[in-house]
A and B are shown apart, each in its own frame.
Chain A
Amino acid sequence: MDRGLILDVRDASFRYSGAARDALAGASLAVSAGEFVALLGPNGSGKTTLVRLALGLHTPHAGSAAILGRAAGEWPRGALARAVGVVSQREDNLFPQRVRETVRLGRYPHLGPWARERDEDREAVERALERCDVAGLADRWLWTLSGGEYQRVRIARALAQEPQLLVLDEPTASLDLRHEMELFELIRGLVDGSGLAAVFVTHDVNLAARFADRLVLLAEGRVRAAGTPADVLRRDVVEAVFGWPLAVSSFDDRPQLTPLRRQP
């Protein structure tokens, strides 16, 4: 086994009970330390199911999903939370909370039910706040933050877990251009700076192509293409997957897609 291999999903299939077809049919996803992998695909292509399998929330009916060599479903949730930090699509705070408070929650996987917070926990929180550039917001209420600030705070919370793998499920949805760029830059910086592995689920194919080391393109529960952006974003493949005519150009040596207007 590759020593740096952190997430290893192999030929995994899964069907939701009552569904007519497999949500995932033999998909694979491998992520190593220091690697930024973007997971792409149209709506309903199986991205979220693949993430859930990778995180042990579902058990594959066929194939396997392992984190650090151990089947994802066998990890105790506490231990898994020390290895993997997740920024999920949605969360809603029941009660008002301040930024630092919510980032402190990231230390809980490292604390027993009765243990007090140690200095190293407080340091990890401050470090995470700084790395995500939200230390200045630490005493603000969450509901006073902009969408981009809020997402950075949630990433800080995941970093406070001190994980080896960071999974982000569409974190840039509903962010404006600047905030979206800031977020991609942040993740790229984290991966480069600390050897963190990142799985980034997104609909923004062009930004994924510019920031990610590798892309995994899903269609109908299968991996349609995987590899470097140039390998994956070939016109015929992407047009087939998204069902829309496209033009492929290049910027900074990375492929960029431009959707075409329908011919009148």
Chain B
Amino acid sequence: MKWLVLSLALVVALLAAVTLGPAAVPAGQLFHSAIFWDLRLPRALLALLVGGSLGAAGASLQSLVRNPLADPFLLGLSGGAGLGAVLAIALHLGGAWTLPLAAFAGALLALGLVFRLGLVGGSALDPRVLLLGGVAVGAFCGAVTTAVVSLAEASALRNAYLWLWGGLSGASWDTVTLVAVYVPLPLVVLLAAARPLDLLTLGEEPARYLGTDVAVTRRRVYLAASLLTAAAVAVAGVIGFVGLIVPHLGRALFGGRHRALLPASFLAGGILLLLADTLARTAVAPRELPVGVVTALVGVPLFVLLLRRWTAA
């Protein structure tokens, strides 16, 4: 029943995303228009994939670092992606794919650094070190980025920020195909770790006694969730709150078991981003709002509601 509602919501969100837009396309011509085929449809699909990735990554990272306030971007990836994008502009690297690739490389660099930091205490990534390391690496990347922006003699660097908060405007069939090929692998890794993740929410020691190889699980989950986030930031920039709020919604509706929670978070994340992006494109048309602003505007009240339910219960 819940899944039916979620699927219905997905259909509604997809329909809204492809039929609504600043350009008036007559309903009869929708399926013959380039605006539908080359702009709205790939953008809607990308929103679905990116939102879904952030939702699933957020749900698994919250259990991994044992912190319900963890957001996929808390682990330094947005800082790394921003640094990558700024460096690409500062070094005058050209090409249509330069910025996404550079941002992806930057995110991977941050990912590697945080991962290495997490291993200081042994082979089992320490969640506390992951969190602190993520925040530290993110702040460091941010500082280097700011230094590059203020020192380099190119004000186009400011545009790297625009790009980093640019949302889904770069959507095309190429990006959709790329992401659609990329995303399943980390998702499958996360799903395979669903049961160990359930156990990890009890704490490291009980998880071990219930049959979990904690070190392996943590490494796999961290890498898979971060790779999802890195892809999301490379094609859509930093989109906050989806990865934070969607897992809590998922838990409220589907319970804490990751076998249900992860797919539910993927779907709910996709739906939320689809709706947010549709709103971003149409609310102040012909202008466009950054989609991250809309996810925050929609997400924060939802979150406050959840917090109230939590503390009232």
A touching B, CB within 8 angstroms: yes
Q: A residues within 8 A CB of B210?
A: 81, 105-106, 108-109, 157, 161
Pick from B193, B195, B213, B251: contact of A95, CB under 8 Å: B251
Q: A residues within 8 A CB of B255?
A: 101
Q: B residues within 8 A CB of A108?
A: 195, 198-199, 210-211
Interface status of B35 (Cβ within 8 A of chain A): no
Q: Are A90 and B201 in contact (CB-based, < 8 A)?
A: no
Given contacts A105-B202, A113-B195, A114-B192, contact A77 B212 (CB under 8 A): yes
Q: B residues within 8 A CB of A113?
A: 192-195
Given contacts A88-B206, A95-B251, A95-B256, contact A105 B213 (CB under 8 A): no
Interface status of B97 (Cβ within 8 A of chain A): no
B200 closest partner in A (C-beta): A94
Q: Are B211 and A109 in contact (CB-based, < 8 A)?
A: yes
Instruction: Kindly state the separation between the CA atoms of A135 and B18 in the bound complex, as whole angstroms.
Output: 50
Instruction: Kindly state the separation between the CA atoms of A186 and B205 in the bound complex, as whole angstroms.
Output: 24
User: Could you tell me which residues of chain A, from 73 to 92, have a CB within 8 Å of some CB in chain B?
Assistant: 77-82, 84-86, 88, 90-92
Q: Are A111 and B203 in contact (CB-based, < 8 A)?
A: no
Q: Which of B255, B256, B257 neighbours the largest number of chain A CB atoms within 10 Å of its CB?
A: B256
Q: A residues within 8 A CB of B195?
A: 108, 111, 113
Interface status of A55 (Cβ within 8 A of chain B): yes
Q: Are A80 and B192 in contact (CB-based, < 8 A)?
A: no
CB of A165, distance to nearest CB on chain B (Å): 12
Interface status of A174 (Cβ within 8 A of chain B): no
Q: A residues within 8 A CB of B205?
A: 88, 90-91
Interface status of A57 (Cβ within 8 A of chain B): yes
Q: A residues within 8 A CB of B257?
A: 101
CB of B26, distance to nearest CB on chain A (Å): 47
Q: B residues within 8 A CB of A106?
A: 210
User: Could you tell me which residues of chain B, from 212 to 261, have a CB within 8 Å of some CB in chain A?
Assistant: 212-213, 251, 255-257
Q: B residues within 8 A CB of A85?
A: 209
Interface status of A93 (Cβ within 8 A of chain B): yes
Given contacts A95-B251, A95-B256, A113-B195, contact A81 B202 (CB under 8 A): no
Q: Are A91 and B211 in contact (CB-based, < 8 A)?
A: no
Q: Are A101 and B256 in contact (CB-based, < 8 A)?
A: yes
Q: Are B209 and A86 in contact (CB-based, < 8 A)?
A: yes
Interface status of A249 (Cβ within 8 A of chain B): no
Q: A residues within 8 A CB of B68?
A: 94-95
Instruction: Kindly state the separation between the CA atoms of A140 and B191 in the bound complex, as whole angstroms.
Output: 27
Q: B residues within 8 A CB of A93?
A: 201-202
CB of B55, distance to nearest CB on chain A (Å): 16
Instruction: Kindly state the separation between the CA atoms of A96 and B202 in the bound complex, as whole angstroms.
Output: 11
CB of B183, distance to nearest CB on chain A (Å): 19
Pick from B66, B193, B213, B256: contact of A97, CB under 8 Å: B256
Over the window 62-74 of chain B, the binary record of Cβ atoms lying under 8 Å from chain A Cβ atoms (1 yes, 0 no) is 1100111000000
CB of A57, distance to nearest CB on chain B (Å): 7
CB of A111, distance to nearest CB on chain B (Å): 7
Instruction: Kindly state the separation between the CA atoms of A161 and B206 in the bound complex, as whole angstroms.
Output: 13
User: Could you tell me which residues of chain A, from 109 to 123, have a CB within 8 Å of some CB in chain B?
Assistant: 109, 111, 113-114
Q: Are A94 and B63 in contact (CB-based, < 8 A)?
A: yes
Instruction: Kindly state the separation between the CA atoms of A234 and B296 in the bound complex, as whole angstroms.
Output: 69
Q: Are B211 and A88 in contact (CB-based, < 8 A)?
A: no
Instruction: Kindly state the separation between the CA atoms of A86 and B202 in the bound complex, as whole angstroms.
Output: 13
Over the window 174-213 of chain B, the binary record of Cβ atoms lying under 8 Å from chain A Cβ atoms (1 yes, 0 no) is 0000000000000000001111001101110110111111
Q: Are B209 and A81 in contact (CB-based, < 8 A)?
A: yes
Instruction: List 16 A–B pairs whose Cβ atoms lie within 8 Å, in order of A's numbering.
Output: A55-B209, A77-B211, A77-B212, A81-B210, A86-B206, A88-B206, A91-B203, A94-B66, A94-B202, A95-B63, A95-B68, A96-B256, A101-B256, A105-B199, A108-B210, A114-B192
